[in-house]
Amino acid sequence: MGAEQAWVLAAIPAGVFLVLALFGRALPRGGDYLGIAAIASSFVLFFVVLADFLDTPGKIGPVVNDIEWSSIGETFTLRMGIFIDPITIVMFGVITTVALMVNIFSLGYMKGEPRYFWFYAVLQLFAASMLLLVMADNLLLLYISWELVGVCSFLLIGFYWEKRSATEAAKKAFVTTRIGDVGLLIGIILLWKEGGTFNIQELIHLAEEGHFSQPYLFTALAFIFLGCMGKSAQVPFHVWLPDAMEGPTPVSALIHAATMVVAGVYLTARLLPMFEVADGMLLAVTIVGLVTALLTGFIALAQTDIKKVLAYSTVGQLGFMFVALGAGEPAVAMFHLMTHAFFKALLFLGAGSVIIGTHHNQEMDRLGGLWKKMPITGTTFLIGSLALAGVPPLAGFWSKDEIFVVLEHKWGAWAVILLGISAVTTAFYTTRLFIRTFMGRPADPHVYEHTRETPPVMTGPLVFLAFLAVTSGFVVFQDVGKALGFPGGITEFIFLPEHGPHVYKLKWGFAAASVAMAVTGIFAAAWMYWGNDLRRSTALANWQPRLYDMLRSKFYFDELYQGMIDRGVLGFSYIVSWFDRYVVNDTGVDGSAQITGFTGGVLKYIQTGRVPNYAMAVALGVIGLALAGLAVRG
């Protein structure tokens, strides 16, 4: 097996999904071992594909394998296939690694849950769909898998469908992402209409050759980017992701932190050569990323649900990735995507461990001091928190530092300052989250007394992901990359052809600034919350209550959308309903029937049954027609 057979990575979990969906209820333990075996097979085969890929000439691929799917005469031919390049390889590594850890962790987290087999079945379908998405060589296959991961997300957010909040969250995610998906579909159709192909590489070539006019290309890519914004929860489509935390926590780690939500980042990185050709698109991508990173960073400061803090953190870090793409650097964006996947999956699974260990408590107001009770969870959570805050030498530091470097090179100081503010808030709310959960005085002695460390089946994945959160950032260095068999560091593995590879060199000025931002946020949060003492934070909230309420209410985005629905959508629906009721139904349908009935009722009185009367009527009719004819002729 080689890179040309990489489709097997998706085929295995897809096959297991069918088995579990049809027979899972009858299998011992719901067939969870089949699910783990499937994703473990894909994880092992990833290394086989990687080894084969690195043996290709030049060690940068790509590897293509496609077939003719259908044709209509000689005018239309549709080919389907896979495209394996360094971006795909990175996504393979992230998806299979995190999915395997989540499947193992779920053995403990989901134990005893109803519909246990269905949970594992949908996890396999998601893994298959996500792997297919990142290896699709054309936009049509990509869109199909794009929708499949959305369906899996909907099913898993609403897994506890008995809870109204879970069903509402699932519907909210479905509707919000559908808006973006419609844009994506329109963009795909526009590119196909002008380019005559769905093949991504052919479309990129056409764009670079000037086949599309600038307004046309900008419009098509703007629609496609709308889909990327929806799937990656960028402002103003970010509202669905925090509510999606209603799903089981392992789902949050896999789908809503490490994989599905980065699909928009992946697609933008895949099409980045086209974005570079379209004037203004990179600036638009940068602005969306900056606004998202800033807003969600502030919102996270005032949240008390540990999963929602992590959710807003995820949205903000996705903004960092889009900023890197807006700077025209797919390698840096994919680098941060990879490191973030590992430490954010670690943090989400750590939150899940806290929830199980404390018997389903996830509000900071009831936690505190848990490090003594949960030493493995607390230690690994600290590692993930420091990586998220950007503390060296953990993974998050290297990838964030590179984002600041490329951002300053592309857009200058103003963009660096805005993103720097977001970096400080990230360090602040991450430290606040750790202190209020694991340190200081327990907020609820009853919860504290009954807290226990989770079993090894849950702490094992935490330790493995913590190892990756420490070490994965070193792949930026040339020597580390070569030692692992790559051509060099990640910036020598992923690059745009016109830019070429470049060797990473640490810029001490930016590194010092990055450290200063992380330290500022950490010390500010420690001063505010040390010992789980809330007097300073309460005084600050009382000093500016409106500002605090605005942050707690998430800048009132939900209220704004609800108002738009109530006054806009429902108002328009009322007008349509009124028109349908009174104009179409009462006037158009019932009205014509009533007129016919009324006319018949009147005319029945002139029906005498006598032939002379009818003859007289015929004669009068003939005379009338004759007079009318004469009048017309003049």
- Looking at every residue in the chain, the average pLDDT score rounds to 92
**DSSP bridge partners of 50:** none
Q: How confident is the model at residue 103 (pLDDT cuts 50, 70, 90)?
A: very high
Separation of alpha carbons 247 and 267, rounded Å: 25
Separation of alpha carbons 92 and 94, rounded Å: 6
Instruction: Please state, as a whole number, how many other Cβ atoms lie within 10 Å of the Cβ of residue 470.
Output: 18
Contact (CB, 8 A) for 43 and 132: no
**DSSP bridge partners of 593:** none
Separation of alpha carbons 426 and 521, rounded Å: 7
- For residue 255, the 8-state DSSP code is I
Instruction: Please state, as a whole number, how many other Cβ atoms lie within 10 Å of the Cβ of residue 607.
Output: 9
Separation of alpha carbons 62 and 82, rounded Å: 10
The pLDDT, as a whole number, for residue 467 is 97
305-308's contacts with Cβ under 8 Å and 24+ in sequence apart are 305/245, 305/362, 305/363, 305/364, 306/351, 306/354, 306/362, 306/363, 306/364, 306/367, 306/433, 306/437, 307/245, 307/249, 307/252, 307/348, 307/351, 307/362, 308/242, 308/245
The pLDDT, as a whole number, for residue 202 is 93
What DSSP assignment string belongs to 336-402? HHHHHHHHHHHHHHHHHHHHHHTTS--BGGG---TTTT-HHHHHHHHHHHHHHHT-TTSHHHHHHHH
**DSSP bridge partners of 77:** 71
Buried b (16+ CB within 10 A) or exposed e, 376-413: bbbbbbbbbbbbbbbbbebbbbbbbbbbbbbbbebbee
Across the range 129-142, mean pLDDT stands at: 95
Q: How confident is the model at residue 263 (pLDDT cuts 50, 70, 90)?
A: very high
Contact (CB, 8 A) for 426 and 390: yes
Whether 60 has a pLDDT exceeding 80, the answer reads no
Contact (CB, 8 A) for 245 and 166: no
Separation of alpha carbons 408 and 323, rounded Å: 11
Q: How confident is the model at residue 69 (pLDDT cuts 50, 70, 90)?
A: confident
Instruction: Please state, as a whole number, how many other Cβ atoms lie within 10 Å of the Cβ of residue 445.
Output: 11
Separation of alpha carbons 189 and 327, rounded Å: 27
Across the range 230-251, mean pLDDT stands at: 93
Buried b (16+ CB within 10 A) or exposed e, 307-345: bbbbbbbbbbbbbbbbbbbbbbbbbbbbbbbbbbbbbbb
The pLDDT, as a whole number, for residue 80 is 85
Listed by start position, the domains of the chain span 281-543, 559-633
Q: Which residues contact 311 (CB under 8 A, 6 or more apart)?
A: 241, 242, 244, 245, 252, 256
The pLDDT, as a whole number, for residue 183 is 96
- For residue 75, the 8-state DSSP code is T
Say which residue the tokens 């004819």 belong to: 629
- For residue 505, the 8-state DSSP code is -
pLDDT tens-digit map of 344-365 = 999 999 999 999 999 999 999 9
Contact (CB, 8 A) for 244 and 169: yes
Separation of alpha carbons 595 and 613, rounded Å: 26
Q: Which amino acid is at 264?
A: G
What DSSP assignment string belongs to 298-351? HHHTT--BHHHHHHHHHHHHHHHHHHHHHTT-HHHHHHHHHHHHHHHHHHHHHH
Separation of alpha carbons 517 and 533, rounded Å: 24
Separation of alpha carbons 555 and 461, rounded Å: 36
pLDDT tens-digit map of 321-342 = 999 999 999 999 999 999 999 9
Q: Which residues contact 338 (CB under 8 A, 6 or more apart)?
A: 90, 93, 94, 399, 472, 475, 490
Q: How confident is the model at residue 15 (pLDDT cuts 50, 70, 90)?
A: very high
Question: pTM above the 0.75 mark?
Answer: yes
pLDDT tens-digit map of 275-332 = 999 999 999 999 999 999 999 999 999 999 999 999 999 999 999 999 999 999 999 9
Q: How confident is the model at residue 45 (pLDDT cuts 50, 70, 90)?
A: very high
Across the range 63-87, mean pLDDT stands at: 82
Q: Which residues contact 428 (CB under 8 A, 6 or more apart)?
A: 301, 521, 522, 524, 525
The pLDDT, as a whole number, for residue 57 is 60
3-state DSSP call for residue 68? Answer: strand
Question: Of 70-84, 184-198, 444-458, which range is least confident?
Answer: 70-84
